[in-house]
Amino acid sequence: MGHQTPIYQEHESLGAKLVDFAGWDMPIHYGSQIDEHKAVRQSVGMFDVSHMAAVDISGPDARSFLRYLWANDVAKIDEIGRAFYTCMLNTQGGVVDDLIVYHLGENWYRTVLNAANTDKDLVWIQGQVRGYDVTVEHRTDLAIVAVQGPQARQQAGDALGPAMAKRAMQLKPFRALLEGGWVIGRTGYTGEDGFEIMLPGADAVSLWRTLVEAGVTPAGLGARDTLRLEAGLNLHGQDMDEEHHPLESGLGWTVAFKPEERDFIGRQALEAVRNSAESNAQLKLVGLVLEGRGMMRTGQVVRPAGSQDDDPERAAGIVTSGGFAPTLGRSIAFARVPSDWTADSVEINMRRKWLAARVVSYPFVKKGKPAIEL
């Protein structure tokens, strides 16, 4: 038996199929992953993501420490109540993890770590603290519920109570409020509007039940993955990892190279890539849509269309994330390929056959509608 979130018994009572995820017993679905996906795209759904780790970083040197620790510049969110997305890099520029950060008070920031990375991330962060007057606290007392979908704000507001709901409804994207130990952020991982709510674990079951009674559809991690893929959002460990830097993972926009005097972990390695005469030989992340039947999956190899080389071992690209897109009725994927590839068509090796796919820009879905030509 793995770790259990405060809402675990609710998942059992709703008949969820529970699986091990990074050492946690988590719901993959409650009966139909497709229905849960569609609920988020068309109305509203909710996810228990309490397996992810909320970490508070505070103290007199918190701001200067985080400007060094993260590739994006925390100075961008000097206003309390703002949030942003960043990568945490190693000295070679590889992505240790990707994070959302909330500025909650004077010298107080909260970030959320991916569940599979929690232990190594905490060791990494603590290893960089020396010389800075900061405190790093893993908030194991908290739960996290994400309410997502075009109707999410209204439905979540109804469950929060009049006073909190009024403030929450006024939040702009990537803004957050702190109320009585609860943090409500207008953030998410589905491509839809909504909130991510961090609250004391003791309050989580009550919130969950109130949302269920309000008609919010519980959704599992299976739908969360297909939603994020349609929305063109990376998954750590697949689309980015410690062996690949943000510039070859479609995440160059998350790196703040200005001001030039700001040093951050991994900057020297990224600057070398940017300044290299061979920079065109680097890799890039592209979106793919399969032209016919089949399913693109992580690890399948990619070659330019029309290539005469039938050996997949010599193919230059690889699918990093792939699956079925319920909104599109097609298989879609991310693939990491050489940056000098310009062809609009590629082929994917599936069961020793090369199947045609088209290179597209992502996101694949935006505001619940196809964002690509089918």
What is the mean pLDDT for each group of 10 consecutive residues in the chain (374 residues)?
95 98 98 98 98 98 98 98 98 98 98 98 98 98 98 89 89 96 97 98 97 96 98 98 96 97 97 74 90 96 86 82 98 95 93 95 96 92
Same domain, 264 and 299: no
Domain boundary residue among 241, 256, 275?
275
The verdict on 20 and 105 lying in the same domain is yes
In this prediction, residue 323 carries a pLDDT of: 98
Are 61 and 20 contained in the same domain? yes
Q: Do residues 252 and 293 both lie within one domain?
A: no
Question: Per the structure block, which two tokens stand in for 70?
Answer: 């993260």
Q: Are residues 89 and 229 in the same domain?
A: yes
Write down the pLDDT at residue 277. Answer: 53
**DSSP state letter for 152:** H
Same-domain status, 13 and 128? yes
Residue at which a domain ends, from 253, 275, 297: 275
**3-state SS class at 308:** coil
Considering its fold, how many domains does the chain have in total? 2
Q: Are 360 and 289 in contact (CB under 8 A)?
A: yes
Quickly tell me which residue has 């929690």 as its tokens. Answer: 118
**Run of H or E including 365:** strand 365-366
Bridge partners for 199 per DSSP? 143
CA atoms within 13 A on the CB side of 141: 6
The verdict on 304 and 250 lying in the same domain is no
Q: According to the model, what pLDDT value does residue 316 have?
A: 85
* β-bridge mates for residue 357, sequence order: 290, 346
* Residues 267 and 306 reside in one and the same domain: no
The pLDDT, as a whole number, for residue 278 is 53
Q: Are 340 and 196 found together in one domain?
A: no
Domain end among 246, 275, 304: 275
- For residue 127, give the H/E element and its range: helix 118-128
Pairing type for strands 353-360 and 369-370 reads: unpaired
- Which domain CATH number covers 53? 3.30.1360.120
Local structure of 330: helix, strand or coil: strand
- Examine the domain organization and report whether 242 and 342 are in the same domain: no
Provide the pairing of β-strand 24-29 with 182-185: unpaired
Which H or E run contains 40? helix 33-42
Return the pLDDT at 294: 96
pTM tops 0.85: yes
**Do 168 and 144 share a structural domain?**
yes
Full domain range(s) for residue 286: 277-370
Do 252 and 353 fall into the same domain? no
Q: What is the CATH number of the domain that holds 283?
A: 2.40.30.110
Whole-number pLDDT of residue 297: 98
